[in-house]
Amino acid sequence: MIDRGAARRIRAIAWRDFRYTALTKSFLIGAIILPGVMFAAIPLLPMLIGSTSPPLEGKVVVIDPSNSIANALEKSLPKTPQDTIDLEDGGPNSGPTEVALKVESVPDPARADEFRLQLRNSSLQALVIVTPNTDGPSIELLVPSEASPRHTTILEKSLREAVTRVRVEQAKENYERIIKIMGRAPIDTLRVSPDGLESKENAQLRMLVPAGFMILLWISVFTSGNYLLTSTIEEKSSRVMEVLLSAASPIELLTGKLVGQAGVAGVMLLMYGGVGLAGLGAAAMLDVVPLPHLLWLLVWFPLAYFTVAAIMVSIGSAVSDLREAQSLIGPAMLLLVLPLMLWMPIVDNPNGMLATVCSFIPPAAPFIMILRLTAANEPVPMWQAWLAVLVNVITVAAILWAGARVFRVGVLMQGKPPSPMELLRWIKAR
């Protein structure tokens, strides 16, 4: 039971830590405005990337004894910038590109070296060498080494279409008619909620939602964890620690700092989460974040925060500057970046062996579990979810206990940082 005096001191320390972290200009700019601007810029990115594409112009030489591919290529090349998007079918390099290519057909294969030389001088955009075979022509596309990947993709796809056009025409069929017959059928997938609401399926967004939850948890927890680390180091190096310890016990000081920074993490979670939900709401896609996902976030947030915070504050208390802290943070960070590295395979198969095993490895577990629980394709067995919560509650208790013991000794230590063995001795000390 905490007495009133201790509660008052914890409150005072927590409020100071919160106020001098979250209510400062640097926090407003660094943690709210800049990420907010970046977040707002995400929808603009494809447009910005697309608009920067240079035009594809110049000459393409096709060495083709039959002269059929060169003619077909001329017909298959995109006529308008919009055609390049359709050609790439929304692929990673898609974007409107101006195409103004002149196709020159050369029937003599002996002139290949002459055009290779021109290609090396960049006076050619591409050289296509068609070699007739019994089962159809084989085609080599040569481009200058500095050619843009987007230009290469346009050329490859136009060539592929040209070959198909030649095949269709050789079969005495009408190419445009065949394309119309083979055209992709438009299918709209709709998700129907238990209350009968129908919404359009967005598979890519559904893959991104678990990552969004995990990154939200990661950023809020690590930003405040980092503040905890630096503020503890600052209090040690500016010698204010002893003044604080004359007014509060180490446990009160530690608790106050943890509570204060929990507030900072909570503000970040609400800010970023709120902006994310508002964005989804504006796009009428709130259904991709059902209520249970948000409730799970509330369960895992404190577990993730107290795990990371206890690690950060104990490291901060044990060292005298940030450089020393890096060497101690390294091993913990290896485990903590695990969810970032394993995001794709875990979301792809949230009940696979990898995902299940990682769910019980602290301190990465909260981040892995939020990935699994918010992945839409398969529900996670509830016994696993609650067992992971139990494992993490025990882990948090153990880390806080060890962190408090390190903190108690470390805050008054100056000089060289402790070795892992010394840290163990501090934990075991009376």
Could you list the residues that contact another protein (CB under 8 A)?
A: 5, 8-9, 12-13, 16, 20, 235, 238-249, 412, 430
Could you tell me the smallest distance in angstroms from the CB atom of residue 311 to another protein?
A: 24
Kindly give, in sequence order, each residue whose CB lies less than 8 Å from that of residue 354, ignoring residues fewer than 6 positions away.
342, 345, 346
Could you tell me the smallest distance in angstroms from the CB atom of residue 408 to another protein?
A: 9
Could you tell me the smallest distance in angstroms from the CB atom of residue 232 to another protein?
A: 13
Could you tell me the smallest distance in angstroms from the CB atom of residue 409 to another protein?
A: 10
Residue nearer to another protein on the CB measure, 248 or 303: 248
Residue nearer to another protein on the CB measure, 398 or 412: 412
Residue nearer to another protein on the CB measure, 111 or 425: 425
Residue nearer to another protein on the CB measure, 8 or 102: 8
User: What is the bridge-based pairing of β-strands 190-192 and 198-200?
Assistant: antiparallel
Residue nearer to another protein on the CB measure, 247 or 397: 247
Q: Residue 203 — left, alpha, or beta (φ > 0 → left; ψ -120 to 50 → alpha)?
A: alpha
Cα–Cα distance measured from residue 302 to residue 298, given in angstroms and rounded to the nearest whole number? 7
Residue nearer to another protein on the CB measure, 386 or 401: 401
Residue nearer to another protein on the CB measure, 212 or 316: 316
Residue nearer to another protein on the CB measure, 217 or 423: 423
Could you tell me the smallest distance in angstroms from the CB atom of residue 205 to another protein?
A: 43
Could you tell me the smallest distance in angstroms from the CB atom of residue 335 to another protein?
A: 32
Q: What b/e sequence results for 77-97 when a residue is b if at least 16 CB atoms lie within 10 Å of its CB, and e otherwise?
A: bbeeeebbbebbeeeebbbeb
Q: How many CB atoms lie within 10 A of CB 222?
A: 20
Could you tell me the smallest distance in angstroms from the CB atom of residue 314 to another protein?
A: 18
Could you tell me the smallest distance in angstroms from the CB atom of residue 388 to another protein?
A: 38
Could you tell me the smallest distance in angstroms from the CB atom of residue 222 to another protein?
A: 23
Cα–Cα distance measured from residue 120 to residue 122, given in angstroms and rounded to the nearest whole number? 5
Could you tell me the smallest distance in angstroms from the CB atom of residue 249 to another protein?
A: 6
Residue nearer to another protein on the CB measure, 9 or 150: 9
Residue nearer to another protein on the CB measure, 24 or 122: 24
